[in-house]
Amino acid sequence: MRKFFLTCLICLIAGVVYASDIRVSVSEVRDTRTTGHFSGMEIKLKVMGDIISDAKGLKLKITKAIDDTDRDLLKDDRGKEDFTKPDEYNIGQAEVEVKLKNPSRKAITIKELIGEMSMFIPKNDPDATATINNFMTQTGKPLSDTALKEAQVEVTILTKSQYDEIKEMKKKEAKEKEGDLAKEFGEAMVQAFSSLFGSMMEVGENSVILNIKDPESKIVAIEFIDESGKKINNISSMKMGDVRVFEFEKPMTQKARMAIFMVTPKSLIKTPLKLADIALP
């Protein structure tokens, strides 16, 4: 069967919703139509408000999405949304992406998009932040911290040799899954996946490697601060199961500290979202 593939893109400002000082508008609609695994529609929402300058993350849970033919656009895997970081260069702004099913070919608009926006404001609750001083001197065993313990989160700073052991185990697991991937996506996709996986597994001399057990996905962000109190920006990061790797331009100093931001009831501010009549491309 010949596959039909069409990508449509439209930029627009539609249906603004105000809740407290939060403003939400549609900045982009991308409708990709294909019979393959990558069909779907993506909507980018621009979120603005003074409160966002204090946020470490935003998450949108969509509970209803229908087009003007009343087709249900909610994906089956909804509820697995991650927090999105606010815009570092435009204070008080963030962009949140919504992934939906394809609308009907007869549809002209998304009639309703309803959900709830959660903003993570760690300064509202001291228990939302675990600060680990001199963390690079504490490798090889779970960090001892009250906030981590209360959140039932375990963080271990790995040495290079410990990481290499986990890397070999992950490679073995990936090798065992190649047969299933080949059946579903084809040999070309498997080769591309294996190549990407292998390159992502390497760590540099300036890496900070964390093994994190976070069964309830409470961690929203992790930051590194030098002894003068200035944030140390990483140049890249990657995540493989429980392992997170942060790469830096320079080696991490022994006196640096790590801040781990975790969701607590007091740290979340929620506001309803309702947009209507969003034009489709």
Give me the DSSP letters along 85-98: PPPSSSTTEEEEEE
Number of domains in the chain: 2
Query: What sign results for the dihedral spanned by CA atoms 189, 190, 191, 196?
Result: positive
Do 109 and 145 have their domain in common? Answer: no
pTM recorded for the entire structure: 0.78
What residue numbers bound the domain in which 130 lies?
126-263
Q: Are residues 58 and 22 in the same domain?
A: yes
Predicted confidence (pLDDT) at residue 73 exceeds the cutoff of 90: yes
pLDDT of residue 8: 42
Does residue 172 share a domain with residue 195? Answer: yes
Residue 16: is its pLDDT beyond 50?
Answer: no
Is residue 160 assigned to a domain? yes
Based on the fold, state whether residues 251 and 138 are members of the same structural domain.
Answer: yes
Q: Are 111 and 161 in the same domain?
A: no
Residue 170 domain flag: yes
Q: Would you say residue 221 lies in a domain?
A: yes
Q: Which tokens hold the place of 148?
A: 């981590």
Position 1 in a domain = no
Q: Are residues 258 and 135 in the same domain?
A: yes
For range 110-137, the mean pLDDT: 94
- Rg of the Cα atoms in the chain: 21
**What count of residues does the chain have?**
281
Look at residue 109 and tell me if it is in a domain: yes
Say what angle helices 187-200 and 160-185 make with each other, to 10 degrees: 170
Name every residue whose Cβ is closer than 8 Å to that of residue 109 and which is 6 or more positions away in sequence.
67, 68, 277, 278, 279, 280
| Domain at 15, CATH number | 2.60.40
Average pLDDT of the chain, as a whole number: 83
Q: Are residues 176 and 240 in the same domain?
A: yes
| Residue 147 domain-assigned (yes or no) | yes
Q: Tell me the pLDDT band of 152, cut-offs 50, 70 and 90.
A: very high
Same domain, residue pair 93 and 167: no
Q: For the purposes of burial, counting CB atoms within 10 Å of the CB of 72, is it exposed (0-12), middle (13-18) or buried (19 or more)? A: exposed
Residue 214: predicted pLDDT:
95
Residues 22 and 102 in one domain: yes
The pLDDT assigned to 21 comes to 77
Question: Are 40 and 109 in a shared domain?
Answer: yes
Residue 271 and residue 240 in one domain: no
Pairwise CA distance, residues 13 & 275, whole Å? 11
Distance CA 227, CA 121 (A): 24
Tokens of 261: 């931001």
pLDDT, one tens digit per residue, over 43-60 is 999 999 998 999 999 999
Cα 252 from Cα 20, distance rounded (Å): 41
| Local structure of 198: helix, strand or coil | helix
Q: Are 271 and 256 within one domain?
A: no
